[in-house]
Amino acid sequence: MPNTKFSSTPFIEIKEEFPVYQGWDSIIKQLLLDARSVYTPTPVIAVEYYPGVLEEEVSEILITGIKPALVIQAKECMWPDYIIRAKEYKNVTDDRIFGHMTDLALGSFFNPELIEKAHDQILSVKEGIILVLGTGAAMIWPDLDFLVYADMARWEIQLRMRQHKVNSLGINNKDIDWELLYKQGYFVDWRVCDPWKKLLMPNWDYLLDTNNRQEPKMIDGTAFQTGIMTSLARPFSVVPFFDPGPWGGQWMKENCNLDPAKENYAWCFNCVPEENSVLFKFGDCFIEHPSIDILLYDAEHLLGADVYKRFGTEFPIRFDFLDTIGGGNLSLQVHPLKKYIRQQFGMSYTQDESYYLMDAKPGAQVYLGLKEGVNPDEMIADLEKAEAGEKPFDAEKHVQTWPAQKHDHFLIPAGTVHCSGKDAMVLEVSATPYIFTFKLWDWGRLGLDGRPRPINIKRGEKNIQWKRTTEWTRKNLVNRIKRVDEGDGWIEERTGLHKLEFIETRRHWFTKKVEHNTDDNVHVICLIEGSEVVVESPFDEFEPFVVHYAETFIVPAMVGYYTISPHGESEGKRCGTLKAYVRPR
């Protein structure tokens, strides 16, 4: 039966009243009022753009409406395109997918002499508003009267990349392959701009939401900070993002209340704060901004002190859905070992993961580990022949398959060859470095763009753990479920992950209220069984939070004690949750 209660637009309601400026006329009117209220004949308004904002369009609207005496475009103070490309080359590389995490700061993109000339221009104005626009606007003239931050959710940025609407930071390149634009963003632009955003956050006078071109909205800095503090004190969900794929399935259409006319849905990012957004609800108006903003603003209270010390402003846990029901196999793949990902890509931790089966059709299976007696040279030779188009790769000859049923849990530490087969609905619980997948074989199919998807046999070969064969895999990675506690109406089970992985997962089956405590450690939870549950504070610290089947939510570390109970249609029935957190060292 379809799940019609799943919410694709969860929100965090802000009870305090704040003005919301909707539409460009209202936004510009407020900025003009503010400019006239300061005791200077030359007020300076800086509008910082996160990469992905439609720079030319937004700038033209602001200039036309404000009619400033002087406009300074931050990009005009940057180094020329060829110098920026040279600075970034070691991070961007010539690889189609992979680069190296940059150590550049935003200041590296700017020519000090051009900034000095901009200073002279600003000082030469005797009367009128001065408008400084673009990424790095606050760097051009730090002595600001007003700072507006135009923010963007990364999924919206990626959609704009696919439409070739946005350039990379300081480079005119929007017409290149969108995957290269994404790579530039992942390894350079976002790494450069997030620390700058974090530095500026306490000084934001306004947050400008430009995710919807037709409906820009603005709130003041106090409203934004109130939204952040509200989020940290209660459970919340990020806005899930669904995307099609060459192997995509049909399960999410029914169970996540999606458009049935779409061909398929392959992925759902339902808890990847670096990618997802959150919605703040002020009255009847929604403000959308990246969920990573909560992390950047106060990582310690979101993650907990120990997790923050280990991961800084990285959210270490990722939940996503992989739907192959009515679709095809995922690509056969392996993830890099920790030493390899650090040396090759500059990441401090790797993509250890697991597959939790939300559902499966009869005959579904998971490819996990290698067959006993596998010959590495022969397997690599067969993969290379398949990549060259000589003959398809015989996966069953080399890779072990396991029957997959609803609520099975398969653990996948880095270095383990794996993929989900067709007709399985996977909740993937993993560490967050989500693009570091070395595809070994993609079943001879093309991507949605009509091109072969990148295969990385050479990289994969350097990371495959050849001793992870059938018996080792059976003993260590398949349904390693252990009951650890129980009480009146509930059972708690440890389902993983492997000791090589830093994430712990706990499954609760319950017909009555279950008590939880974050113990100063962020929790990520998905409702895996039951129509709906309610999350409550035993001390009334937050309002009851209702969660529906297949929805995922975050419990910030500072929440402390909370309970989960069957609710609505699920009262008196068995429900199940899967909880993940960072295992204490």
List the 438-441 sheet strands across, edge first. 399-403, 365-370, 418-420, 332-334, 438-441
* Closest to 99 measured CA to CA, from 88, 85, 109: 88
- Which residues contact residue 473 at a Cβ distance below 8 angstroms, ignoring those fewer than 6 apart? 368, 369, 370, 400, 402, 416
Residue 138 has pLDDT above 90, yes or no: yes
Q: Report which residue type is found at 537.
A: S
Other Cβ atoms closer than 10 A to 407: 18
Mean pLDDT in residue range 460-478:
97
Contact 553, 483 (CB under 8 A): no
Contact 522, 294 (CB under 8 A): no
List the 206-209 sheet strands across, edge first. 21-22, 217-220, 206-209, 146-151, 44-49, 130-133, 70-73
* SS3 state of residue 347: coil
CATH of the domain at 533: 2.60.120.10
- Which residues contact residue 388 at a Cβ distance below 8 angstroms, ignoring those fewer than 6 apart? none
Strand ranges (E), 291-408: 317-323, 332-334, 353-360, 365-370, 399-403
Mean pLDDT in residue range 150-165:
94
Higher confidence at residue 434 or residue 472?
472
Among the three residues 204, 232, 260, which one is the final residue of a domain in this structure? 232
Alpha-carbon gap, residue 375 to 213, rounded angstroms? 55
Contact 578, 533 (CB under 8 A): no
Domain-embedded: residue 309: no
Strand ranges (E), 450-544: 482-487, 490-496, 503-510, 514-517, 523-529, 532-536
Q: What pLDDT, on the 0 to 100 scale, is given for residue 73? A: 97
Q: What pLDDT, on the 0 to 100 scale, is given for residue 1? A: 47
Predicted confidence (pLDDT) per residue in 504-515, tens digit = 999 999 999 999
Give the pair of three-digit tokens for residue 108: 């590296």
Residue 3 has pLDDT above 70, yes or no: no
Predicted confidence (pLDDT) per residue in 214-246, tens digit = 999 999 999 999 999 999 999 999 999 999 999
Q: What pLDDT, on the 0 to 100 scale, is given for residue 196? A: 97
Give the pair of three-digit tokens for residue 121: 């221009």
Domain-embedded: residue 288: no
Point out which residues pair with 334 in neighbouring strands: 438
State the DSSP string of 538-574. Answer: TT--S--EEEETT-EEEE-GGG-EEEEEE-GGGTTS-
pTM: 0.96
- Which residues contact residue 356 at a Cβ distance below 8 angstroms, ignoring those fewer than 6 apart? 407, 408, 409, 410, 426, 427, 428, 429, 495, 505, 528, 578
Alpha-carbon gap, residue 479 to 573, rounded angstroms? 24
Give the pair of three-digit tokens for residue 11: 């929100």
Q: What pLDDT, on the 0 to 100 scale, is given for residue 2? A: 53
Residue 99 has pLDDT above 80, yes or no: yes
Domain-embedded: residue 144: yes
Domain count within the chain: 2
Contact 16, 280 (CB under 8 A): no
Q: What pLDDT, on the 0 to 100 scale, is given for residue 446? A: 87
Among the three residues 206, 232, 258, which one is the final residue of a domain in this structure? 232
The whole domain housing 61 covers 12-153+191-232
Mean pLDDT in residue range 306-314:
96
Count of positions (residues) in the chain: 585
CATH of the domain at 90: 3.40.50
- Report the share of the chain in percent with pLDDT over 70: 99
- Report the share of the chain in percent with pLDDT over 90: 94
Give the N- to C-terminal CA distance of the chain in Å, as an integer.
43
Domain-embedded: residue 169: no
User: Tokens 């010539």 label which residue?
Assistant: 94
* Closest to 436 measured CA to CA, from 348, 511, 365, 521: 348
Alpha-carbon gap, residue 11 to 278, rounded angstroms? 7
Mean pLDDT in residue range 545-554:
98
Domain-embedded: residue 346: no
Domain-embedded: residue 465: no
Domain-embedded: residue 132: yes
Strand ranges (E), 341-453: 353-360, 365-370, 399-403, 409-412, 418-420, 424-431, 438-441
Domain-embedded: residue 505: yes
